Structure 1
Amino acid sequence: MAICYELQHRLNPFYTGGSVKTLSNGSHVISMCHNSIKLVDLSTLATIQSFDEEEDTPITLAVSPDETTLGVAWRSLLIKQYNLITSTCTRQWKGHLGPVVAMDIDSSSSLLATGSADSTIKVWDMSRQYCTHHFRPGVGVVSIVRFHPSKLLLFSSSIDNNIRLWSLQDSKCIQILSGSHVSPVTTLLFLSKEGGDYFISGGRDQVINYWLLNDEKAELLKVLPVYEAVEGLQLIPEEVSGRGSVTVATAGEKGVLKLWDIENGCCLGSLYSLPESTGHVFSDLLYCHALQSLVAVASDHTLLLYSLKDKSVKYFVGNLDEVLDIKCISGDGYDEVAIATNSENLKVYERGAWSQCQLVRGHADVILCVDVNVTNEMIATGSKDKTVRVWRRNPSSGQYEGVATGRGHTMSVTAIAWAKQDNSFLVSGSLDKTIKLWNVKQLLLSKKTNEGSMSAMFTEAAHNKDINSIDVSPNNKLIVTGSHDKTAKIWSVADGKLMGTLKGHRRGVWSVQFSPVDQCVLTSSSDNTLRLWSVSDFSTLKTFEGHSNSILKAIFINKGQAVASVANDGLLKIWSVKTNECLTTLDAHEDKVWSLATPNDGRSLFTGSSDTTVCEWKDVTNEKRTQEKEKQSDFILKEQQLLNLLQDKDYERAVGVAITLDQPNRVLKALTDILSSSGIHSEPFHATIRSLNEEQLSCLLGYVKKWNTNSKYCRVAQSVLHVLLKIKDPDDLSKISNISETLTGLIPYTERHFDRLSRLQQLSTFIDYTWERMSLSDQNH
């Protein structure tokens, strides 16, 4: 039996930029993802609802306070209103001449405000479906619109950086707050406290303004410089902040979450900051009352959940981007997957959970390769920043901490591998065409708390072109490298001496790996083939052909008895080492599959692709084999039961068993015998048809459709139809699966049989007439 794998889990993107909204329960978010809007459960990252539009892209969205209505503005200029409970689009219309870039829904969940690039603002009654207000600021793109929570006021700001107050009661602009900001206003907050109503505005001019709103007129009370462009601003409730004064949190271009005391005009400190070396910033800031947490949206599409109660931080990666490498980490009490994506942060997920992600920070550029040591407690990574880094898992916290850094490569580190028997060394390959063997044994045994430096035991100019892959033999004595120069080479660990060159591929070699059980090497190439090479004489032992595109990764699985490979076309193939045959082909991804890994238990496969997804495939070979055996045993028992029933002439039960076994010939024989012995109007024939369930009737009708095409068996087919139409209501028959297709096939042949019998009846009548006339003639003579 072939090796069988089934898709166990797919890690899909859920946020690729744009607006994000959190729901009141704190466990769900609504986000933009490519050409759709997704409602995502953060506990599993599963998509609960998805609102998709073909060939259209969302620009902005708004969620009603009662969380029943979703408003979305699309690039096609359509505004759509969705019901979040029924997941249906309740209304769509074209409201502006330009794209809608700002939206808000009022506190009653009945009015929707839209601000457009056509310099207009419109307010829509969502229940009665008409435009209630049309405002014309006339100064370019309207960047923000906000309803006041308790007054009939609408606030807006445009590219002139002024805040405008619009009266919904008088349908006019009642005040323009000019000169308060000198850059675009990005956020507005409203609050009511003893002494009146207030609001806070923040913008990219690095200031926060505190306003008093009295008799629908705004008065500037305080200007607070924050020394960075403000992209997100949230009010912290007094019961959470523990302060009597107004406290807000800001997030902006420096990637720092800060707390500010507005009334006293001071900074209360930083809560969290993104590493400056990454260059990432915060693009939005939300507050979740249920969790008492801030949700910061980073420019790398990561959602950061910061708890104000216990100061803990959780990461939710909205978009993995291109997945470059994957390795599995299994230890005592933990089972994780390390993923290198198009990012300088290594992402570590817990298998089975897949929701929260641990970001391992330290590299200054994209991580290209990753490997896990034999004890599953350390990770080595290679990056575009030309360094090799080693990370150790802290057993108490489960966090990975930097242990050592290796510098010396002059270009990106593209391949890395640990020693197989111990942690004495690791090897790396680079775009500078060299390999380095790093001594890490003494460094890892030391008790230093700070990150140390690794020294290279040797450096060898290995290939004429880029090195794509590297591996260490199970006995720690050999190294194999694969390169774009169409060769793989084997090196000695002891002195770095070249032992042999594996020549035969017609294009670049993408991956190499030593067999865990035999003295051979597996290579994959852009020439669409896999090869097994002898370590002793460097000759080709076997060639695997079947892929139609470049094979980007190949590994041994099933204790070296099989090979898994992934290619440029997104396919995953499983091969038998013994027979060279492709056992299974799985349609894994929609783009190039760069990464392939298997955990120590060998029961799963992980694939990562340029389509920004990671798939976990479960080996279900044993389960399938068990099911096949059970199915075969059940078939033998039912086959014997059927033979016994036919011998006893218990046709009523025999027909049901024969249908279950999918044996139409025996069904036909049993029905024919009943008709021959009892006739169509007999109770045995009716009882046989009546005893069948809906699924069996569906199968029987399929047989009848086939029998009806042959005049030899049409009598049985028409008899079954006659009884079915007599004992079953039309409504019951309409519920049978594929009934429309069955009737389409039955009607033409039934009409043909009817015409044939009609002609036969006419002919028989003519014979009777002729005989009668002949009788009369004899009497006359």
Structure 2
Amino acid sequence: MEGKNCFRTRWTQEPIFSGGALASLALPVSDPAASSALSTSAAPEECLVMACGDTVNVVRATSGEVLCRYTLPVEDVILHIDAVTVPKASDDGGKDATSGDEGEARAKRDASAAEKSATTKKAPKKKAGAGKTVKPIEEDEENAGQAEKKVAVPSVAASSSDAAASQGDRELAAPAGSYVAVGTRSLQVYVLRVDARVESPASPSPSPSAEKGVAADAASEKGNAAGAEGDDADVVGAATASGTLVQYSIELQRNWTAAQHAISVVHFSQSGTYLVSGATDGSVRVWNVFHHHLTHNLVCAHSSLVQSVCLDPSEAYLAVGSFEGHVTVFDFVAKRIVAAGRPHVQAVESMIFNDALTHVYSIARDRRLALNKMMFSENRKSTELKEVRAIAVKEHVSSAAFESAGLLHVGAMDGVVSTYRVSEDEAVQLVRRLPKPPSADAEDGAEEAFVRSLLVAGVPKGTNMRRLRDSVVQDAPHAPDTSSLYVGDAGFSIQHLCPSSAECSQYEVTRTVVGFLDQLLDVKLFPEASPLHRAVVTNSKDVRLYASDGCVSSKTLRGHSDVVLCCAVSSNGAWIATGAKDKEVRVWSTESCETVVRGVGGHTAEVTSLSFNGRQTDTYLLLFSVSSDENVRMWDIGVPLAERVSAKQPRSRVEEIQHRSGVNAAHTGPIYTVAVAPNDQYVATGGKDKSVNVWNITGKKMYREASLKGHRRGISSLAFSPVDRVLASASNDGSVRLWSLVSLTCLKSMQVDRTSVLQVGFFNNGTQIVTSNAEGVLRVWAIASSESVWAAEAHTEKIWALAVEERPSSGETIFYSGAADGVLIATEDYTAEEVARVKEDRHQMILQEQALSNALRKGEFSEAFMLALRLSHPRHLRQVLVRWCAKDARQCENTLRGELLPALDAEQMTRLLQYTREWITNSRHCTVATLVLYVLISSRHFEAVAQVPSMASLIEPLLAYTRKHSQRQHDLLRRTYYIDYVIRGLAPNVLTSLPPFVHHGEGRREEPPLAKRMRVE
């Protein structure tokens, strides 16, 4: 069907990760009542939380799908993030999750600390209690540089019952849900809430441009809600395997200024009650976010940047690590330093307390693992942090994470990831290691391999809280044999590491979430039967293979020593050819992701384009390559590949071959593109010399057939028609030309502007072509009419990569476009779906119009009113009201007031008011409009009317025209008085003997007193 012009974005792969910390959440997907809180009936799945510039992204860990995102309301840079999932409290007869021995111990510990604090400060005598010093967040924003003003909170006596202690914990506990904390460079801390709402398949799914988020938590204030209206909060729907639709949303709970310098660290407690923020000036503050209070204002012994913090699960001690190697331990209840020292000379990456809370383990970038003892456990007056043991690790530490007190994960600057078993008295044992990637050996590849962050997979913060609170604590959340990690590197990718099935002492990469694509240079698609979906070439030495939509890469091709510029996929999907700036042509196996054939000596400059022949067999497989050296090469790779498959040679062996045929100086400048005809008869090349050269293939030899000239600038892309002997060429002069391979002449030239056209491709049985240009515009052309039938500004930069996928099984047509802006967009053709929808809508409209006519004929005005409103027929709706009023105005008014208008939703009410606005502009229809306005105002409260969407834009013309018609009617009424005067004045004179002062027909007038007296006399 020619003239397709209905296209839409199917999915988008955008930058989602720009380095920095990683966090995880547990979001339920099966229980509608669970909402965003983790309950026993819900089926949670792990989702990653990451930052990209000023945007927070929540990504499904398994598929890489972006569930929701939030962009900061002001231009800023996110420095650190953390997340926590707060489960719902158990409904077991009033017992909260925090109860038992630990709740009692916490109450006693708080009471003891309060007594000590009152004694040391010589404060007035007060009852001993577990009250904590709190400070409103708003007060701290106004007095950030002043001393903390303490407000006493009613305390709980040390001898209070367990029920009272549990009640106090419930009041301070965070509300159930999933939360994300963000620290920024502009001194701000943002707290966001992530919601997952399960909907039935029958309910309509809102579009990404629909309402932004679910209603905020009751604790959030109106001011914060108003401030978040302009924020860029996205809502994404995802369908589960059962068919239910899950709507994910993220919204701002509150934000505030947390320090006088940039926020370098944010850290949620395991319970989610407290949020610790550290700044670049060394200040540490603890907030009760959900009750809007500053609970701790801690001062470290140093003024160095806060690099890391650690709060033990029982919330007894807080450890702070600095950029200069200091470690400071605070009593979290008494809010004082209990131990401090400098066991390192570089940034402290991670810390953890042992189970007995007597030692602090720390590891820093100086490659030292320090086991420090807090000496106050032996001497209460001592604040020394004594180093009892120091161990040097092999890796150059760039990131580290303690999974437990006995298990340490270390990421190195060269991409190595190691897991160690740590003990206080035994030697450190290496459990597992991820070997150094090959790209780390190169000088410019070591930077991308740099490990920026580590996150233990499968244990989102807060999900194991109930076990901790119920004192059922395991030695380690994961056994060393089953630990898996998420590793974020400097190349903005997140790798999921699992123990290798072949070698238990090594990690293997199961999947990679590609957070940033840089510039996309080429995209090639695999056949529909292949397990892989596409190969993506970015501005790097690696080629990533994707098995599905989204940003999860299943395989990576590594081997080139310079940036890869192009690739090609064989028709069976078994082989991939790549060309790079290192002048090499490589052929890879999609099964092993290893190089099987390497072409040497073919080119002396960068390889710019590749293409396989169309009719491929096991032994007949040709590869054509062009380069900036002006040469065209043909590689016969069918024979070596067939020998490799039949002989089953070792995978480590790489076959080196020479080109079978070629043409030197095929163009008078760099060659940019090459294409092969579907019947393998012709090969076309184009380059900077503005000409298209057509080559004939005979017996694996190349002969010049013709040189097609007509473009005014260089040729950027070529494509053969799949059904006709036609060649399409795209040029930097902004035109697309169609050439006949029979007459070797130009058939048509299509051009809209002078913007360079970079890619071209046929689809829809060769009746249409799609092009991309240097301004990020995708354009679809109808060949028969030589007109552009659809265009969209899909990207903001040059579109270097374009691939067309036509699926015969489903009849789908999808464009994959990649640009220099680092975005890959899949655009689908939904013309058939749109045609079916239009037909169905037209059919339903005809039925409803017939029902409207029947209702009017039968006098069923209520039903006719609703049908006309649903059909969006203002003329029919006005006629219904006119006929109804003519028949029984009182019934019309009462029915509208009592039944119809109160039942309208916001959208229908807005539509009715829009029609009323149009009616009231015409004096002939103003009576109907005033009737609707009168009934509306009398049937609804003015506050409900004010909440109607777009009411502000509707009320002004309604008021203006109402005044105008009212004035017109009053003027008309006054003019009718003149008619009465004229009618009286036109009455004929009557002959009478009465004096002139007597009105005819009204009797005699009373005589004046003087006349009456004279008559009597």
The answer to whether the superposition gives a TM-score over 0.5 is yes
How far the C-alpha of 1:78 sits from its partner, in A, is 2.4
1:584 aligns with 2:790: yes
Q: Which residue of 1 aligns with 2:642?
A: 445
Aligned partners of 1:286 and 1:641: how far apart in 2? 62
Aligned CA distance change for structure 1 residues 410 and 742 (closer, same or farther; 3 Å): same
Correspondence for 2:54: 35
Q: Indicate conservation of the 8 Å contact 1:380/1:416, yes or no.
A: yes
Give SS of 1:574's match: strand
Secondary structure of the 1:436 match is strand
Report 1:215-364 matches (<5 A): 215=376, 217-235=384-402, 246-262=406-422, 263-275=426-438, 276-277=440-441, 278-279=445-446, 280-290=449-459, 292-308=483-499, 313-332=510-529, 334=531, 336-352=533-549, 355=552, 357-364=554-561
Q: Take 1:538 and 1:514, find their aligned partners in 2: how far apart are those partners?
A: 14
Deviation string 1:279-333 (CA, Å, 9 cap, x unpaired) is 2122222213448412221221111112248565222112222222111112436
Q: Does 1:9 align with 2:11?
A: yes
Distance in structure 1 (CA, Å) of the matches to 2:843 and 2:45:
51
Amino acid at match of 1:232: S
Question: What secondary structure sits across from 2:702 in the alignment?
Answer: coil
The size of the alignment, in residue pairs, is 766
**How big is each residue's C-alpha offset from its partner over 1:547-593, in whole Å with a ceiling of 9 and x where there is no partner?**
56322211101121100111222221111111111111123223222
1:487 has 2:651 as partner: no
Q: Return the alpha-carbon distance in structure 1 between the equivalents of residues 555 and 567 of structure 2.
A: 15
Give the counterpart letter for 2:521 in structure 1: L
Aligned pairs (5 A) from 1:690-705: 694=904, 698-705=910-917
> What aligned pairs does 1:27-66 form with structure 2 within 5 A after superposition?
27-44=46-63, 45-63=65-83, 66=86
Q: In structure 2, what residue type is equivalent to 1:220?
A: E
What residue number does 1:417 align with?
611
| Structure ID, larger Rg | 2
- The CA distance in 1 between the partners of 2:933 and 2:340, in whole Å, is 80
Equivalent residue, structure 1, for 2:595? 402
Q: Alpha carbons of 1:94 and 1:469: their partners in 2 closer, same or farther (altered >3 Å)? A: same
Aligned runs of 1:407-556 on 2, under 5 Å? 407-408=600-601, 409-422=603-616, 424-447=621-644, 448=649, 449=651, 450-459=653-662, 460-494=664-698, 495-547=701-753, 549-556=755-762
Aligned to 1:241: none
Matched, 1:205 2:205: no
One-letter code of the match for 1:586? A
Counterpart Cα distance in 2 of 1:744 and 1:43: 52
Provide closer, same or farther for how the CA distance between residues 73 and 503 of structure 1 changes in structure 2, counting only shifts above 3 A: same
Per-residue displacement from partner, 1:583-638 (whole Å, max 9, x unpaired)?
A: 11123223222211122426222111222222222221111122223334444555
AA partner of residue 703 (structure 1): Y
Aligned match of 1:98? 261
What secondary structure does 1:432 align onto?
A: coil
**Distance (whole Å) between structure 2 residues aligned to residue 727 and residue 248 of structure 1:** 68
Structure 2: distance between partners of 1:527 and 1:699: 49
CA distance in structure 2 between the partners assigned to 1:130 and 1:684 by the alignment: 58
Equivalent-residue separation in structure 2 for 1:410 and 1:333 (angstroms): 34
Distance 1:335 1:4, change over 3 A: farther
Is contact 1:331–1:377 with CA below 8 Å preserved after alignment? no
**Quick one: distance in 1 between partners of 2:881 and 2:370?**
88
Q: Which of these residues, 72, 83, 87, is aligned with residue 182 of structure 2?
A: 72
Q: How does 1:377-776 map to 2 (within 5 A)?
A: 377-394=574-591, 400-408=593-601, 409-422=603-616, 424-447=621-644, 448=649, 449=651, 450-459=653-662, 460-494=664-698, 495-547=701-753, 549-601=755-807, 603-638=813-848, 657=867, 660-669=870-879, 671-676=881-886, 678=887, 680-681=889-890, 694=904, 698-722=910-934, 738-768=950-980, 771=983
1:363, 1:383 within 8 Å by CA — same for their partners in 2?
Answer: yes
> SS where residue 215 of structure 1 aligns?
helix
The structure with higher relative contact order (CA 8 Å, sep 6+) is: 2
Change (3 A) 1:659 1:533: same
* Structure 1 gap segments, 5+ residues each: 239-245
User: Helix, strand or coil for the counterpart of 1:16?
Assistant: coil
SS at match of 2:785: coil
Whether the 8 Å contact between 2:20 and 2:453 is mirrored in structure 1 is no
Q: Distance in 2 between matches of 1:432 and 1:638?
A: 69
Shift of 1:112: 4.0
Unaligned runs of 5+ in 2: 27-43, 87-176, 196-215, 217-249, 378-383, 460-481, 502-506, 991-997, 1001-1017
Aligned CA distance change for structure 1 residues 120 and 497 (closer, same or farther; 3 Å): same
Shift of 1:143: 3.0
Q: What secondary structure does 1:201 align onto? A: strand
| Aligned residue identity for 1:630 | E
Gap change, CA 1:747 and 1:170, over 3 Å in 2: closer
The alpha carbon displacement at 1:440 in A equals 0.3
1:118 aligns with 2:281: yes
Aligned residues with identical type, % of pairs: 24
Note the alpha carbon deviations across 1:166-188, whole angstroms, 9 max, x for none.
5556766555544x434333222
Say if 2:290 is the partner of 1:133.
Answer: no
Aligned with 2:595: secondary structure?
strand
Cα deviation, residue 274, structure 1: 2.4
Cα distance, 1:683–1:274 mapped onto 2, change above 3 Å: same
Residues 1:19 and 2:21 aligned together: yes
Query: How large is the RMSD of aligned CA atoms in angstroms?
Result: 3.5
1:715 aligned counterpart, secondary structure: helix
Q: TM-score, length-normalised on structure 2?
A: 0.69
Kept in 2: contact 1:259–1:271 (CA 8 A): no
Note if contact 1:301-1:319 (Cα within 8 Å) is conserved in structure 2: yes
CA distance in 2, matches of 1:721, 1:172: 67
Counterpart Cα distance in 2 of 1:74 and 1:491: 59
Q: Quick one: structure 1 residues 574 and 171, their matched pair in 2 at CA, closer, same or farther if it must change by over 3 Å?
A: same
Distance across 2 between alignment mates of 1:777 and 1:725: 53
Q: Distance in 2 between matches of 1:670 and 1:62?
A: 60
* SS of corresponding position for 2:890: coil
Contact 1:653 1:688 in 2 (8 A): no
Counterpart residue identity of residue 660, structure 2: M
AA of the residue aligned to 1:143: Q
CA distance, structure 2, for counterparts of residue 107 and residue 689 of structure 1: 54
Give CA-to-partner distance per residue, 1:169-223, whole Å, 9 cap, x none. 6766555544x43433322233326xx6433322222332333445355443433
Residue 184 and residue 703 in structure 1: after superposition, are their counterparts in 2 closer, same or farther (change >3 A)? closer
- Summarize the Cα distance change of 1:22–1:715 in structure 2 as closer, same or farther, 3 Å threshold: closer
TM-score by length of 1: 0.88
| Matches of 1:667 and 1:648, distance apart in 2 | 16
More strand by share: 1
